[in-house]
Amino acid sequence: MEELLLHANRHIKVKHAFNIRDIGGYPTVDGQTTQWKRFLRSDGLHALHDADKQVLLDYGVSLVVDLRLPKELESAPNVFRDSDQVQYCHRSFIDEEVLKTLEDKPVQNRAHMRADKGYRTWLEYCQPSVRDILVSIAENDEGVALYHCSGGKDRTGLVTALLLGMAGVAHEIIAADYALTARYNINSTFKGPEGDIKTWQDYEAAYCPPAVMRESLEHLNRVYGGVLDYVKHIGVTEDQVERLRRLLLTPTEDDTLPS
């Protein structure tokens, strides 16, 4: 597992973002592999300098899907918002009305949004938004689609789980990819961890334990029959599902490593 997670091509290093990762190279249960240089998951891009932006452009990024709330866009504008080099679209994972509903619901641990009270609720209340996000990504035929929130963990983590689940990646790997955020966000200056978080292992246990994502995926299995049935239930068409699977799984000229 470590070899998959820490593949040399997994983490895209820039100076002013911490958690940009390619979701390629993961095996599926039917013997295929997710394609490199198709999808990047990321934390916030608001602090990127020109050199950082160029790294992403050189990597092939052609679409940036911003999952943040409108108020987050105002306080930390996306550096690609007015770009003439990539397509930028805002698709908030959670709209303001849903956010108010969620904030009114009691949760055991709001800071970490544990799966028992958090992600499962998001997957139920945010279905129109999730559909629009997946449709936007499906329409990007050329280049790399990058999607991101602020920390690249919660909203970005759920979109990643749905994409990898559609591809047929095992739940254990999806959960491990989710937890991998801890190794990079422990160094983030956007929102530092509490003082008692000293290591990435501490960060993972507090903020992104793999059990959180496993439970979310098990919820989709119990209620909908799995990720594919969930995304179809929320309105992603058969054609769009196949487009996403083709983008996720179609081999490149070198189907092992990025060029």
How big is the CA angle at 175 (ends 17 and 257), to the nearest 5 degrees?
65
Within a 10 A sphere around the Cβ of 176, how many other Cβ atoms?
Answer: 18
pLDDT of residue 27: 96
CATH code for the domain defined by 2-249: 3.90.190.10
One digit per residue, the tens of pLDDT, for the chain of length 259 reads 889 899 999 999 999 999 999 999 999 999 999 999 999 999 999 999 999 999 999 999 999 999 999 999 999 999 999 999 999 999 999 977 776 766 666 554 444 444 445 799 899 999 999 999 999 999 998 899 999 999 999 999 999 999 999 999 999 999 999 999 999 988 775 555 566 788 899 889 888 999 999 999 999 999 999 999 999 999 999 999 999 999 999 664 554 455 4
Q: What is the DSSP string of 99-132?
A: HHHHHHS--S-TTTT-TTTTHHHHHHHTHHHHHH
Q: Phi, psi at residue 242, to the nearest 5°?
A: -65, -35
Distance, in Å, from the CA atom of 213 to the CA atom of 66, rounded to the nearest integer, reads: 21
Residues in Cβ contact with 131 at an 8 Å cutoff, skipping those fewer than 6 apart: 231, 234, 235, 236
pTM over 0.85: yes
pLDDT of residue 177: 98
Distance, in Å, from the CA atom of 168 to the CA atom of 174, rounded to the nearest integer, reads: 10
